[in-house]
Structure 1
Amino acid sequence: MDELELLKRDWKKREDQMPKLGFDEIYKMIWKRSSSIVKWIFLISILEFLLPHLLYLLPSMSKNLAVWRDLGLGNFLLISTIIQYSVVLFFIFQFYKRYKEISSMDNARQLLSNILKTRKTVKYYVLFCLSLIFISFLVMAAGIYLNDDPISAMGYKYNLDNVDPAKLKTTMMATVLILGVIVTTVMGCIYFLLYGILLKKLNKNYKELKEMEF
């Protein structure tokens, strides 16, 4: 008989002597864990919102914004920024709302419902952010296609007399689209690390509550 089996037998012998947790104690543990998880989701979403604004202080970011305007995409940049701010702030408010609701709950069924709402909210938020990233690259590719001199618009100075403009645009568009796929994939992995792990823990709490009789 191996060591693991011996430990299992010893645990069973002592099981009757050990105190058993009641529903209230288990519920409080799950409630505290869930509240902490949603709090972290809320805080991470705020940090994620603030970080790009710090990057805008870098000279390279100012140059990138100028490229959008030179490609004739200034209006899109303005509209997408307004939409991004509005939607992201809405989601941050929803995360805060979920956190406050869970923090003041004393009902297991309500907690189950709120966990489900939080999971859906996070999924919609991640889907929106990734979609916005990829759409931005699609629009930039369209801007390159519609621009008569995309190389100059993007700030490059080369002698391109012997280069076919159509092939050049196709190459640039393909590069932007491939870069869009790569960036979106990388950001998807980051979102998985930031939110996926927290959602996995939240889902575990949900399953534990579902298994309890109340």
Structure 2
Amino acid sequence: MEELDLLKKDWKKQEENQPKLSYNDIDKMTQKKSSSLVKWIFYVSLFELGFGIAIVILALFIQPDLMSDSTMPAWLNWFCYASSLVVFYFIYKFFMNYKKISTTNSIKDLMQNIITTRKTVKHYIVYSLSVIAFTICVAFPIGFIEGTGGMEKFSAEANITKYLLLAVVTILLACVIVALFYGVYYLLYGLLTKKLKRNYRELKQMKS
């Protein structure tokens, strides 16, 4: 019994020595974690943009006349330019979300900013995957037809079966590449937004 009493006393001493956190302290810790997560989302988006620019520069270095290739329709180049502007817009949104979470002073605002950030990431992923799928569905058939001698030759030799086969291969290729990119986006953004969701739940429990 004496040993048990001694253990109880030691346990009480340990509890007394442990730091006691207030709701305000927990709120600040959650805010700091959320701010760090959103900052990483911003960094990842910058890395993704930089990687894309590096690929384009490398492609132009290997094939200087790539941008002036007459096989690709002019509107596809304009589509790529417009898509780049949209990506810059999303990066700007990620940065603004980070600034808002870093400077917020209330649990309510922090919760709302976390929701906004998660929605922005979701919209960005949906947009990026849609652009990838659309680009493949347009560029692959054009490249394949030009590789076989041009549209006139392909149309003269092709029948309904060849057109269907080309459509099926294009769709399958788009699905595979989109699935691969989805996996990458899940690792890069999905895990970060899951942690944001966990922070949101902690704040919701504190508020209730």
TM value normalised by structure 2: 0.80
1:141–1:177 CA contact under 8 A, matched in 2: no
Alignment gaps of 5+ in structure 1:
1-9, 155-159
Q: How does 1:57-206 map to 2 (within 5 A)?
A: 57-59=57-59, 66=66, 69-71=69-71, 73-140=72-139, 143=142, 150-153=147-150, 164-166=157-159, 167-206=161-200
Counterpart of 2:88, as a letter, is L
Counterpart of 1:133, as a letter, is I
Are residues 140 and 56 of structure 1, via their aligned partners in 2, closer, same or farther at CA, if it must alter by over 3 Å? closer
Are residues 164 and 78 of structure 1, via their aligned partners in 2, closer, same or farther at CA, if it must alter by over 3 Å? closer
Cα distance in 2, alignment partners of residues 79 and 62 from structure 1? 22
Query: How many Å apart are 1:106 and its aligned residue?
Result: 1.5
Query: How many Å apart are 1:37 and its aligned residue?
Result: 0.3
Cα deviation 1:90-137 (Å, max 9, x = unaligned): 100000001111111121111001000000000000000000000112
Structure (1/2) with the larger helix percentage: 2
Cα deviation 1:21-76 (Å, max 9, x = unaligned): 1111101110000000000000110111111111123348865x8499444x3323
1:34–1:102 CA contact under 8 A, matched in 2: yes
Cα distance in 2, alignment partners of residues 120 and 61 from structure 1? 37
1:144–1:169 CA contact under 8 A, matched in 2: no
Are residues 90 and 67 of structure 1, via their aligned partners in 2, closer, same or farther at CA, if it must alter by over 3 Å? closer
Counterpart of 1:152, as a letter, is G
Q: Secondary structure at the match of 1:20?
A: coil
Alignment gaps of 5+ in structure 2:
1-7
Alignment correspondent of 1:29: 29
Are residues 134 and 91 of structure 1, via their aligned partners in 2, closer, same or farther at CA, if it must alter by over 3 Å? same
Q: Secondary structure at the match of 1:182?
A: helix
Cα root mean square deviation, aligned? 3.2
How many percent of aligned residue pairs carry the same amino acid?
31
Counterpart of 2:158, as a letter, is P
Are residues 180 and 103 of structure 1, via their aligned partners in 2, closer, same or farther at CA, if it must alter by over 3 Å? same
Cα deviation 1:153-179 (Å, max 9, x = unaligned): 59xxxxx9xx95234444344322211
2:141–2:170 CA contact under 8 A, matched in 1: no
- Residues 1:46 and 2:46 aligned together: yes
Counterpart of 2:125, as a letter, is V
Cα distance in 1, alignment partners of residues 99 and 197 from structure 2? 19
Cα distance in 2, alignment partners of residues 173 and 61 from structure 1? 31
Q: Secondary structure at the match of 2:20?
A: coil
1:68–1:140 CA contact under 8 A, matched in 2: no
Cα distance in 2, alignment partners of residues 136 and 62 from structure 1? 21
Cα distance in 2, alignment partners of residues 173 and 60 from structure 1? 29
> What is the number of equivalent residue pairs in this alignment?
194
Counterpart of 2:74, as a letter, is N
Cα distance in 2, alignment partners of residues 39 and 127 from structure 1? 21
